[in-house]
Structure 1
Amino acid sequence: MTAPARTVADARAWARAGTELVLDAVADLDEAGFRADSALPGWTRGHLASHVAANADALGNLVHWAATGEETPMYASAEARAEGIARGPALSAGELRSWLTASARQLAEGLDTLTDEQWHHPVVTAQGRTVPATELPWMRAREVCVHAVDLATGTAFTDLPDGFLTALADEIRDRRGLAGLPEGPLPEIAAWLSGRPHSLADAPALGPWL
């Protein structure tokens, strides 16, 4: 497997950039705007916004785990995760924006407090993978950057940092077990790999990722 072309500092910078894109994407949405469809089948923008906010809260649980050694899963259960997503349509536009903003800030502040030792403490993801806490900023970067595009308010893969796109493409290629990639611009390759709309000619269809 190819080693990730990223550092913790890289991932934190990409997470900040992605968070700004998400917050910019929803800045002018009213209730009708949040009720509109996102780019993810069956999800409104409100569903997606609450998912991104709940993800920050869930990653905050893993920060607590790394900092204290107290086992704190991302989500109490699959049902609890689904309930977090379902909250979106019940919240006002202002409440959704406040949740997105506050949860992102709290996660960033929690990461700021981790010591060098705590960054290397193992935690368990929602998929059951045991990873060091150094993976948490990358997990957040993926969520906010890709879902900023999925909100379908005008953000595209071309708006995402090149370093992030390279790291994303490397990871998905390896996880999908692909020997090579089609020719084309990096943003289009990343979109194709993640199962999003793209302009690559003759690229085989891939299922959704993330």
Structure 2
Amino acid sequence: MVARHDLTTDPELRDELLTVRRGTAFFARKVTELSDADFDEPSLLPGWSRRHLIAHVGYNARALTRLVQWANTGVETPMYDSSEARDAEIDFGATLPVRALRHLIEHAAISLDVEWRDSPDAAWEARVRTAQGREVPARETVWMRTREVWLHAIDLDNGARFSDVPGPVLSRLLRDITGAWRARGTDTGLVVAVDGWPDRLGDVESDSPTIVSGELPDLVRWASGRGDTGVASSTGEIPPAPRWI
């Protein structure tokens, strides 16, 4: 069935789709602001030019489209054949002409959005497998893409800031990141305190933790490994954030 509006009737999911579409538009706007020559400049991700980053975001949309198609058809279509295939695809994409990269970003995002739009409620709960091997409901693809477009808009390094990201996205990001630390056991003795939040994240059972504190956008920047501007530490020395992904 081809719909002109989202088939899902879940109000929470509809809100999440609105947020990811806002993020997609924000990322697209930041790419549009780049001149062709700007594509050759470094991104904020070590070892990646803006070309690599833009290719990655485009191919990520295609990979997530495959997961949504899997949910809709029942035919297994993995995100990537392998991690090596993913890396090779990004390296190849970085060599494309700028016009082709702009086309990739636009059309891959449209294809993903159409798959989301035409997915009925039952498909959103179908189990699919991420590139990391996690089995998740297809609705998780919306959050996976939300993280990509909002964070990587900042990584383009042409003016996007963490304060541009909606508060609910920042909150979920910080909880996701600290949850990943906890799952790996890499947050020992480390507590994150967001200004204005009643609860703290991390190793809250520690008797003498290092407490990293600050405003939410600054803490997400630090926790995601993108700098420690604006955060403070109870020891006076800001520790590097544990690995997230």
- Normalized per residue, the structure richer in strand is 2
Match of 1:171 in 2: 176
Please tell me whether residue 204 in structure 1 is matched to residue 200 in structure 2. no
How big is the shift at 1:83? 2.0
Match of 2:54 in 1: 49
Q: Map 1:6-17 to 2 at 5 A.
A: 7-17=12-22
- Retained in 2: the 8 A contact 1:15–1:138? yes
Q: Map 1:15-164 to 2 at 5 A.
A: 15-164=20-169
How big is the shift at 1:54? 0.2
Give 3-state SS (helix, strand or coil) of 2:75's partner.
Answer: coil
Deviations 1:40-96 (A, max 9, x none): 000000000000000000000001100000010001222221122113332222211
CA change 1:79–1:195 in 2 (3 A) is same
CA distance in 1, matches of 2:101, 2:226: 25
Deviations 1:103-139 (A, max 9, x none): 0111011011111111100000000000001111000
CA change 1:207–1:39 in 2 (3 A) is farther
Match of 2:196 in 1: none
CA distance in 1, matches of 2:151, 2:191: 22
Letter in 1 for 2:88: E
How big is the shift at 1:8? 2.6
How big is the shift at 1:205? 0.3
- Retained in 1: the 8 A contact 2:55–2:105? yes
Deviations 1:131-150 (A, max 9, x none): 00111100000111111111
CA distance in 1, matches of 2:35, 2:84: 28
- Normalized per residue, the structure richer in helix is 1
Give 3-state SS (helix, strand or coil) of 1:198's partner.
Answer: coil
Q: CA RMSD in A?
A: 1.7
**Percent identity, aligned pairs only?**
41
CA distance in 2, matches of 1:8, 1:169: 20
- Retained in 2: the 8 A contact 1:195–1:206? yes
Match of 1:4 in 2: none
Please tell me whether residue 186 in structure 1 is matched to residue 221 in structure 2. no
How big is the shift at 1:194? 0.8
Deviations 1:10-64 (A, max 9, x none): 4322211221121111103233211100000000000000000000000000011
Give 3-state SS (helix, strand or coil) of 2:79's partner.
Answer: coil
CA distance in 2, matches of 1:167, 1:160: 11
Q: How many residues align?
A: 205
| Larger mean Cα displacement after TM superposition, 187-196 or 77-86 | 77-86
Structure 1: runs of 5 or more not aligned: 1-6
- Retained in 2: the 8 A contact 1:29–1:93? no
TM-score (norm 1): 0.92
CA distance in 2, matches of 1:35, 1:96: 12
How big is the shift at 1:208? 4.9
